[in-house]
């Protein structure tokens, strides 16, 4: 037989075995409940593309329970976890038995390098122990004036945009990410992005990275065939050039901090200075410090701006809720240019409910990906080592057994309900993850969100634009695509 034919047949046999025979007839994972076989090539991926990752995972959990098997590209079995006990086991009790992963590990490696987001085991423990104090509440409280300044900047620009008109249609998702980028620049590295006026070199490079592939399918293809990343094509060249620029600037920032005799209040300065005081074996290496710049930039910017955008959208959709929040704010922020303090923001109860409900209904990070380091049993099912485990925070947040029959609806008042309060724990409300790998910037994100939202809702009223629609696009965070347009008018009292 022609040797090429043998080669083609062998390849076909291998693909048939990997994509069909093994996952569907031999893998122990096939015993776990899940949907019937999907597309031969795309598995159930088409559903994720159509419905968005969060909703698709929630639908599966509602149909099949807290542990569900589904098939990703080329029918690779993935396990969806939406059971609080399993969440506890993976994230809290045995976090270092599971390796953290991202949809595209190679892209993540280029971006986060040796930073904490990709660290595992002892390296993660060391980095976390070293970084924790810099994110302490006393330091985060000092950032409030910068958050408030960002809120007022957004207010002033929208005021000017509306001018004397009764209302203006504004794409709110254009400016919010710029404001949060400016904020993380200042509180993170004492770096002026000034992105509402002109893009700095770092801002341009950063945008090129984030916008490198708006299509989740392209991201998945890159993940499936890592070799594509080595091809000298436009999308790759732009990506690598941007990473190079960011690394160069990150390096400069770290070197400047190391040379500086004074301790600044920004996170990088706190990290560099406290690092110097530690014994050598507890310190972050130079490369780890440099990688934290990009890590904090990405972890701290996209997530917060997306959460804020969703909050404005939900409040526009629910005018009564918006009025109730504004009433709470006007009582404290008596004039339009009021500069709120930490204590004032911290005491606003309904604002806190709106924050929590936004993060519950539209959890910016809808799923956390882990791989188990050893074979194990979960809820009676054998899970061979190296199985992709998709912990869906989104599905847990929409579970009617915890949140009631209106789990899918935005209702901040539920957070005042004592029955709900008694059911909620860090295992079923996990927008910031849980356990030792949970979000380092949680307090910071909460305060930033509250500072900006409170200033803006005090000063503007938001309404939906009739007929305007958008889709939920998930790369790491759930982004509204192409953005959110709202009708915005000034509050004249």
Would you list which residues are annotated within the binding site for heme?
Answer: 439
Closest distance of CB 292 from ligand HEM, Å: 8
How many other CB atoms are found less than 10 A from the CB of residue 388? 16
> Are the C-beta atoms of residues 307 and 432 closer than 8 Å to each other?
no
Using CB atoms, what's the residue nearest to ligand HEM? Answer: 441
Number of residues in contact with ligand HEM, rule: CB under 6 A?
Answer: 26
- Parallel, antiparallel, or unpaired for β 381-383 and 168-171? unpaired
Instruction: Give 64 or 371: the residue with its C-beta nearer to ligand HEM.
Output: 371
Taking CB under 6 A as the criterion, the residue among 387, 437, 454, 474 binding ligand HEM is 437
User: Is the bond into 482 cis (omega within 30 degrees of 0)?
Assistant: yes
Q: Which stretch binds ligand HEM (CB under 6 A): 79-87, 291-299, 312-320, 414-422?
A: 291-299
Q: To the nearest whole angstrom, how small is the minimum distance from the Cβ of residue 74 to ligand HEM?
A: 24
CB of 469 to ligand HEM, least distance (A): 24
Q: Which is nearer to ligand HEM, 19 or 267 (CB)?
A: 267
Q: How many CB atoms lie within 10 A of CB 332?
A: 16
**Residue 89 touches ligand HEM, criterion: CB under 6 A:** no
The residue from 61, 116, 205, 210 that contacts ligand HEM (CB under 6 A) is 116
Instruction: Report, in Å, the least distance between residue 114 CB and ligand HEM.
Output: 13
Q: How far is the CB of 131 from ligand HEM (least distance, A)?
A: 7
- How far apart, in whole angstroms, are the C-alpha atoms of residue 175 and residue 278? 40
Distance of CA 377 to the CA centre of its chain: 29
Distance between CA atoms of 93 and 87, rounded to whole angstroms? 9
* Phi, psi for residue 369 in degrees, rounded to 5: -105, 130
Residues of span 125-184 touching ligand HEM by CB under 6 A: 128, 184
Name the residue nearer to ligand HEM (CB basis): 246 or 368.
368
Name which of residues 445 to 464 contact ligand HEM (CB under 6 A).
445
C-alpha 131/C-alpha 134 separation (Å) is 6
User: Tokens 């993540």 sit at which residue?
Assistant: 108
Least gap, CB of 251 to ligand HEM (angstroms): 19
Structure tokens at 440: 């380092």
Q: Does 396 bind ligand HEM (CB under 6 A)?
A: no
Report CA 255 to chain centroid distance, whole Å: 29
Q: Which of residues 294-323 bind ligand HEM (CB under 6 A)?
A: 295-296, 299-300, 303-304, 307
**Site of tokens 């989104």:** 394
Per residue in 333-358, is it b (16+ CB within 10 Å) or e — as a string? beebebebebebbeebebbbbbbbbb
Gap between the Cα atoms of 228 and 238, Å rounded: 14
Among 354, 444, 452, 476, binds ligand HEM (CB under 6 A): 444
Mask: binding to ligand HEM, 351-380, rule CB under 6 A, as x and -?
-------------xx--x------------
Binding segment toward ligand HEM, per CB under 6 A, in 196-204, 279-287, 379-387, 432-440 = 432-440
Binding residue numbers: 439
User: 3-state class of 82 per DSSP?
Assistant: coil
Residue 80 neighbours by CB under 8 Å, 6+ apart = 57, 60, 61, 67, 68, 69, 70, 390, 392, 395
Structure tokens at 178: 């710029």
Residue whose CB is less far from ligand HEM, 177 or 441: 441
Best CA proximity match to 478, nearest among 351, 335, 303:
303
Q: Would you count residue 441 as binding ligand HEM (CB under 6 A)? A: yes
Check residue 428 for interaction with ligand HEM (CB under 6 A): no
Residues that bind ligand HEM (CB under 6 A): 100, 116-117, 128, 184, 188, 295-296, 299-300, 303-304, 307, 364-365, 368, 431-433, 437-441, 444-445
């Amino acid at each position: 037989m022609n040797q090429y034919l043998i080669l083609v047949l062998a390849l076909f046999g291998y693909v048939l075995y990997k994509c069909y025979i093994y996952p569907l007839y031999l893998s122990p994972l096939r015993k776990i409940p899940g949907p019937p076989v999907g597309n031969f090539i795309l598995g159930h991926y088409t559903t994720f593309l159509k419905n968005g990752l969060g909703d698709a995972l929630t639908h599966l959990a509602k149909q099949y329970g807290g542990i569900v098997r589904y098939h990703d590209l080329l029918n690779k079995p993935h396990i969806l976890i939406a059971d609080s006990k399993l969440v506890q086991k993976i994230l809290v009790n045995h976090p270092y038995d599971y390796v953290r992963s991202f949809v595209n590990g190679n892209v993540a490696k280029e971006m986060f390098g040796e930073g904490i987001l990709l660290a595992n085991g002892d390296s993660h423990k060391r980095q976390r122990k070293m970084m924790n104090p810099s994110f302490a509440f006393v330091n985060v409280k000092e950032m409030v004036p910068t958050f408030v300044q960002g809120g007022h900047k957004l207010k002033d620009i929208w005021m000017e945009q509306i001018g004397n008109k009764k209302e203006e249609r504004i794409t709110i998702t254009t400016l919010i990410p710029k404001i949060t980028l400016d904020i993380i620049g200042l509180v993170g590295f004492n770096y002026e992005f000034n992105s509402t006026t002109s893009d700095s070199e770092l801002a341009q490079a950063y945008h090129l990275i984030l916008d490198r592939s708006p299509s989740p399918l392209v991201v998945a293809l890159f993940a499936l065939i890592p070799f594509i990343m080595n091809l000298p094509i436009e999308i790759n060249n732009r990506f690598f050039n941007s990473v190079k620029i960011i690394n160069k600037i990150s390096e400069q920032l770290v070197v400047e901090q190391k040379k500086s005799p004074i301790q600044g209040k920004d996170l990088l300065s706190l990290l560099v200075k406290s690092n110097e005081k530690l014994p050598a074996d507890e310190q972050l290496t130079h490369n780890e410090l440099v990688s934290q710049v990009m890590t904090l930039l990405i972890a701290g910017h996209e997530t917060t701006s997306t959460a804020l955008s969703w909050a404005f959208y939900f409040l526009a959709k629910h005018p009564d809720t918006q009025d109730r929040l504004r009433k709470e704010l006007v009582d404290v922020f008596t004039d339009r240019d009021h500069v709120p303090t930490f204590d004032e923001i911290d005491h606003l109860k309904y604002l806190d409910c709106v924050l929590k409900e936004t993060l519950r209904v539209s959890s910016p990070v809808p799923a956390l990906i882990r791989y188990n380091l050893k074979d194990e049993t979960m809820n009676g099912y054998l899970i061979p080592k190296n199985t992709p485990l998709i912990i869906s925070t989104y599905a847990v947040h929409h579970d009617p057994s915890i949140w009631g029959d209106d789990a899918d609806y935005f209702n901040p008042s539920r957070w005042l309900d004592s029955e709900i309060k008694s059911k909620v724990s860090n295992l079923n409300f996990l927008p910031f993850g849980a356990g030792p790998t949970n979000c380092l910037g949680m307090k910071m994100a909460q305060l930033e969100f509250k500072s900006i939202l409170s200033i803006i809702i005090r000063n503007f009223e938001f309404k939906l634009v009739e007929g305007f629609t958008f889709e939920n696009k998930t790369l790491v965070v759930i982004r509204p695509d192409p953005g959110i347009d709202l009708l915005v008018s000034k509050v004249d009292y």
